[in-house]
Amino acid sequence: MYNFIYFNDDGKIRKPWFVENSKVPIILSYVAPIDIYAIAFGPFVWCRGTMGDQLKNHEVIHYHQQLELLFVGQWLLYVFYWLKGLIKYKDGAVAYRESPFEREAYANDQNLDYLKNRERFAWRKYT
Ligand SMILES: [Zn+2]
């Protein structure tokens, strides 16, 4: 019923635009708690180098998290979980890695078929 969120009309997984060799991750890394290699934001994924299949899959998982939360919802929750983790772990990099959005992406990015059968709001299983 909600498949149109995640799949194109031709049945293929909805994907963002990949922008490789971009300066965006380098610039964002000055203010981020981690060194960003690639970042999914809105309909784009910016990467400072080139992207292999696993990294692309990781970022498409983030794209689908954003699609189901109408983008803004994911951005707000992403910050919320990061701040929550920062209080808990007192380490920005650990807080990043422990957010449910990252935990879902890291747990499944090596499975290139993951998004074909992913449940809606699957990140909630990683809270
Ligand atoms: Zn990630």
pLDDT confidence tier of residue 3, bands split at 50, 70 and 90: confident
Q: Is residue 123 one of the residues assigned to a domain?
A: no
Q: Is residue 74 one of the residues assigned to a domain?
A: yes
Span 45-102, pLDDT tens digits: 999 999 999 999 999 999 999 999 999 999 999 999 999 999 999 999 999 999 999 9
Q: What is the mean pLDDT of the chain?
A: 96
Cα of 5 from ligand 1 centre, angstroms: 20
Model-wide pTM > 0.85 = yes
Q: Is residue 61 one of the residues assigned to a domain?
A: yes
Cα of 1 from ligand 1 centre, angstroms: 27
User: Which one, of 114, 121, 110, lies nearest residue 66 by Cα?
Assistant: 121
Cα of 40 from ligand 1 centre, angstroms: 8
Cα of 62 from ligand 1 centre, angstroms: 7
Q: Is residue 112 one of the residues assigned to a domain?
A: yes
- Residue 30 belongs to what domain range? 3-117
Q: Is residue 126 one of the residues assigned to a domain?
A: no
Annotate the chain with DSSP letters as a single string: --HHHHB-TTSPBP--EEE-S-SHHHHHHTTSSS--SEEEETTEEEESS---HHHHHHHHHHHHHHHHTTTHHHHHHHHHHHHHHHHHHS-HHHHHHTSHHHHHHHHHTT-TTHHHHPPTTGGGGG-
The domain total for the chain is 1
Q: Is residue 125 one of the residues assigned to a domain?
A: no
Residues with CB under 5 A from ligand 1 (ion): 102, 105
Distances (CA, A) of 31 to 24, 78, 106: 12, 16, 22
Tell me if 33 sits within 8 A of 93, measured CB to CB: yes
Here the tokens at position 13 are 């997984």
Q: Is residue 13 one of the residues assigned to a domain?
A: yes
Q: What is the pLDDT of residue 78?
A: 97
Cα of 3 from ligand 1 centre, angstroms: 23
